[in-house]
Structure 1
Amino acid sequence: MTELAENPQQVDALPLGPESLVWKYFGDNRMYLIGPRPAVLQNMLAELGQGVLDHSVFFSDTAARVKRSLPPIFMTVYGSDDDNRGIQVRDFHKDIKGDMPDGQRYHALDPETYFWAHATFVEQVLYFADTFVKRLTEAEKEQIYLESKTWYRRYGVSDRVMPADYAEFQRYWDRMMDEIVVAHPTAKYGVGYVTKGFPCPKGVPPLAWKLIAPLFNPMAAFLTTGGMPPRGRDLLGLPWSDRKEKAYQAFAALWRTKPVNWAWDRLPMSVRYNTFAQQGYARG
């Protein structure tokens, strides 16, 4: 499969499955190390952030929104070509529409908006693997992107804005980050805990949280802020420094070392992968 990725002109997309790199990385539980990067970046597209602001329970119950949104996406990736949740994910968005503050209309199924949401997940896989697992080769990046095209087409939406290959995707990503994304209130809310700390989660006794928070909050802020692209960090006004950047890079480099990867790869599948990935690999 990697050989195909070295010659992207030969193929339009690559399949998902046990041999795919998207399967290998997307459901890996080390993904928590990148923090909420894709969710925050999604909401930095004004139309998408507005849709969440107008229609989602994100503000009243953030955990419920995550629990509802992520499983169908994982089941889209780890399902088969004939049995996945892609169409259902698309249909969740049919009624997410309204007016922007300037009076322009938005709709979650507008191709530019829908693809940006997907692009943040694709970039999530690329960023996570390259930062916390191993430095990806150009062929591996190409392979991941070509596999992501198969993933996107499972949603049954227009792919007219989807870049043809990884190089084009890079140009698309850079343009979005440099020219399009903004510090939308939804995105700012999503990273508010970086400076304010997390409120006590539902179901956690206040006394227990009082003991946990001094340890949890700094680590959450470190992973969230370090895991954001510099441009996103600047737009959102997230506090960072050269010292913290060096610490973050050292932390990431530790995870990429051979001993850490060797140990991780020998842990049980139930530890290394989420439930949806485990089910996919079990099915084969």
Structure 2
Amino acid sequence: MNTVDNDPKPPPVGGVLWSLAGDIRMLLTLPAALTMQVAHPAVGAGVDEHSVFRTDPWGRGERSLTSLQLWVYGGEGAAAEGRRLRRLHKTIQGTDAHGRKYHALTPAYYAWVHATGFPVFRHAQQYLGRPFTEAQERQLYAEWLQVGRVLGIHDRDMPQSVEEFWPYYRKVLDNECEATVVVRELLAPDQPVPAPDRGPRWLRLLLRAAWPWLCPRFTRVRRFLSIGLMPPDAREALGLEWTDAQERRLRRFGRVVRAVVPALPERLRFMPLACRARRAARG
């Protein structure tokens, strides 16, 4: 039996995720999704104890972003990336802050990490793009389920329709999620972050020199986008304040993003892997 022939396929070319996942605006949504993921005590404990997000945040971010792009644009390599991630998570286990044992591949925990992407994409689209129609929202959810299959998530572990998703999502928010240690750390406006170590040498040197000035501004912007692009019910579950003034500022920011990004050429609007896949699909 040919493994590749029987692997779950990535979402379709030309689908909702085909245009969404590789767009540079998606970068702005990642902090909100990550914060919601680590709000689950088991996930937060796994990241707290096993991740390098404190010592190598830029490398971790780059690897995570590459992985996400492969799920959508990786073709036959998508399922291979899903298998790699499951192998990577096999050894991640321990005890959470409430004394409960966890394993990263426990279906409920692994599914929650994946599930957070849908409400964040949906909410952020209201600011950064055009709000989804009902048909687009349903298609997005169906494609996100397909990505879940690529990652090895069984259908029995994820709600199979939008109607089933929202009760599940709110139940996890109400009964499981909390402002974990990692949530508080990610949202701290004064949390030190190492200077970026990616890119050309001249850029790294420049950023290193300017980082004492840039870092506190970076962490404040990260906090603003993390909370602002997080669905309101998730904010409420975590006890995060969001004022009317902040909402107005986010809407102004969104208007600028919506005006600028669509006007960019494809090579600047889409991330490299997505850009190459889109060109290849056009032949």
Equivalent residue in structure 1 for 2:42, among 17, 22, 47: 47
Q: How far off is 1:79 after superposition? A: 1.8
Q: How far off is 1:211 after superposition? A: 4.6
Q: How far off is 1:90 after superposition? A: 1.8
Q: How far off is 1:253 after superposition? A: 4.4
- Matched residues in 2 for 1:255 and 1:167: separation? 31
Mark the CA change 1:169 to 1:14 in structure 2 (over 3 Å): closer, same or farther: farther
Paired position in structure 1 for 2:166: 170
- Matched residues in 2 for 1:215 and 1:97: separation? 34
Larger mean CA deviation between 126-135 and 138-147 belongs to 126-135
Structure 2 alignment gaps of length 5 or more:
1-7, 197-203
TM-score after normalising by structure 2? 0.82
Residues 85-131 of structure 1: CA distance to partner in whole angstroms, max 9, x if unpaired?
Answer: 22112221111112234442211111111111111223333223233
- Matched residues in 1 for 2:74 and 2:167: separation? 30
Residue 174 of structure 1 aligns to which amino acid in structure 2?
R
Paired position in structure 2 for 1:251: 253
Residue 31 of structure 2 aligns to which amino acid in structure 1?
P
- Matched residues in 2 for 1:35 and 1:114: separation? 17
Paired position in structure 2 for 1:67: 62
Q: What is the SS of the residue equivalent to 2:157?
A: coil
Paired position in structure 1 for 2:280: 283
Is residue 2:150 matched to residue 1:154?
yes
Larger mean CA deviation between 175-184 and 197-206 belongs to 197-206
- Matched residues in 2 for 1:206 and 1:83: separation? 35
Paired position in structure 2 for 1:269: 266
Paired position in structure 2 for 1:83: 77
Is residue 2:187 matched to residue 1:185?
no
Mark the CA change 1:95 to 1:253 in structure 2 (over 3 Å): closer, same or farther: same
Q: What is the SS of the residue equivalent to 2:156?
A: coil
Larger mean CA deviation between 269-278 and 26-35 belongs to 26-35
- Matched residues in 2 for 1:95 and 1:197: separation? 28
Residue 119 of structure 1 aligns to which amino acid in structure 2?
A
Paired position in structure 2 for 1:201: 195
1:85-104 to 2 correspondences below 5 Å: 85-104=81-100
Q: How far off is 1:249 after superposition? A: 2.7
Q: How far off is 1:271 after superposition? A: 0.7
Residue 108 of structure 1 aligns to which amino acid in structure 2?
A
Tell me if structure 2 keeps the 8 A contact 1:73–1:86.
no
Residues 39-74 of structure 1: CA distance to partner in whole angstroms, max 9, x if unpaired?
Answer: 111100111111111211122222222223331222
TM-score after normalising by structure 1? 0.81
Q: How far off is 1:169 after superposition? A: 1.4
Tell me if structure 1 keeps the 8 A contact 2:93–2:104.
yes
- Matched residues in 2 for 1:264 and 1:216: separation? 21
Paired position in structure 2 for 1:139: 135
Residue 30 of structure 1 aligns to which amino acid in structure 2?
R
Q: What is the SS of the residue equivalent to 2:175?
A: helix
- Matched residues in 2 for 1:146 and 1:35: separation? 20
Structure 1 alignment gaps of length 5 or more:
1-12
Tell me if structure 1 keeps the 8 A contact 2:191–2:219.
yes
